[in-house]
Amino acid sequence: MSKEGLPDLAEVDARGLKVAVITSTWNAEICDHLHERAVETARANGAQVDQFRVVGALELPVAVQAAARRYDAVVALGCVVRGGTPHFDYVCDSVTQGLTRIALDESTPVGNGILTVNDHQQAVDRAGFEGSVEDKGAEAMLAALDTALQLRRINGLEH
Residue 22 identity (one-letter amino acid) = I
Q: What is the SS3 assignment for the chain?
A: CCCCCCCCCCCCCCCCCEEEEEEECCCHHHHHHHHHHHHHHHHHCCCEEEEEEECCHHHHHHHHHHHHCCCCEEEEEEEEECCCCCHHHHHHHHHHHHHHHHHHHHCCCEEEEEEEECCHHHHHHHECCCCCCCEHHHHHHHHHHHHHHHHHHHCCCCC
140 close to 113: Cβ distance less than 8 angstroms: yes
In a domain? residue 78: yes
In a domain? residue 5: no
Q: What is the pLDDT of residue 130?
A: 94
In a domain? residue 159: no
In a domain? residue 129: yes
Q: What is the pLDDT of residue 88?
A: 87
104-to-109, 122, 157 alpha-carbon distances in Å: 8, 30, 19
Residue 79 structural domain: 18-150
For residue 85, the domain's CATH number is 3.40.50.960
In a domain? residue 6: no
How many domains, the chain?
A: 1
In a domain? residue 10: no
Please tell me whether 58 is known to bind a ligand: yes
Catalytic annotation, residues: 87
Distance, in Å, from the CA atom of 17 to the CA atom of 28, rounded to the nearest integer, reads: 28
Q: What is the pLDDT of residue 8?
A: 65
Please tell me whether 81 is known to bind a ligand: yes
Please tell me whether 59 is known to bind a ligand: yes
Beta pairing class for 48-54 and 73-81: unpaired
pLDDT in tens, the chain (159 residues): 455 655 666 679 999 999 999 999 999 999 999 999 999 999 999 999 999 999 999 999 999 999 999 999 999 999 999 988 888 889 999 999 999 999 999 999 999 999 999 999 999 999 999 999 999 999 999 999 999 999 999 998 765
Please tell me whether 79 is known to bind a ligand: yes
Q: What is the pLDDT of residue 1?
A: 44
